[in-house]
A and B are shown apart, each in its own frame.
Chain A
């Protein structure tokens, strides 16, 4: 069975602090895709990043970075120098080739205080 776990329910930080969101997934498939989506108060789900299972290179994109480790089945996401506009619910998700249906974690609510 495929499963995504986000153990952190809520995180509260002061502006300019770094925020790291944890995501652990379960699958026996060798080819899969991992995602992070952001859901601001408006409700729309915004795509942030995607990682393919065969590419463990970690990258930085602006204030976002991610750490993908197949050995521990983790796909953690970091926001550097957080801003109030980063306040949202963040979802980790998993999908597979063919239909690419997303399986979501329960989400982590991030609150950035000025």
Chain B
């Protein structure tokens, strides 16, 4: 099946630890995005990448890092510098020439 796969679905980490969220797509989409959602709020853009080996900061990039070494993969690392990391994280992708972004199922991160 074609789609966007995020893993793990649920993740618990201790404060001060870095954690990496996986995002893989087999849709052959060029662009990929990471959004964060806090309870009762809309989504905010963390990072995005329009092409392999290139990525740009979004509105709330502080405390996060990404890489785009392969077209199909766009992992997000939540570092210990992120002050409030507990949230729902959504990965998304967009085809070349397309103007619609499609989302994965999301990952819940809880930092205790």
Contacts and interface: CB of A to CB of B under 8 A. Distances in A.
Interface of A: 4, 33, 35, 37, 42-47, 50, 52, 91, 95, 97, 99-102, 104-107
B45 A102 contact: yes
B85 interface: no
Contacts of A47: 100-103
A16 to B, nearest CB: 28
Contact of A99 (B35, B50, B100, B105): B50
Given A45-B106, A47-B103, A50-B100, 4 more contacts: A44-B104, A52-B99, A101-B33, A104-B44
A64 B48 CA distance: 30
24 contacts: A33-B100, A43-B105, A43-B106, A43-B108, A44-B106, A45-B103, A45-B106, A46-B103, A47-B102, A47-B103, A50-B99, A50-B100, A52-B99, A91-B43, A95-B101, A99-B56, A100-B99, A100-B101, A101-B33, A102-B33, A102-B43, A104-B42, A104-B44, A107-B42
Contacts of A102: 33, 35, 43, 45, 101
A95 B101 CA distance: 10
Contacts of B105: 42-44
Interface residues of B, number: 26
B7 to A, nearest CB: 14
Nearest to B106: A43
Interface in B71-112: 88, 90, 92, 94, 99-106, 108
A4 B42 CA distance: 10
Pairs A-B, 4 closest by C-beta atoms:
A104-B42, A45-B103, A43-B106, A44-B105
B31 interface: yes
A28 B53 CA distance: 32
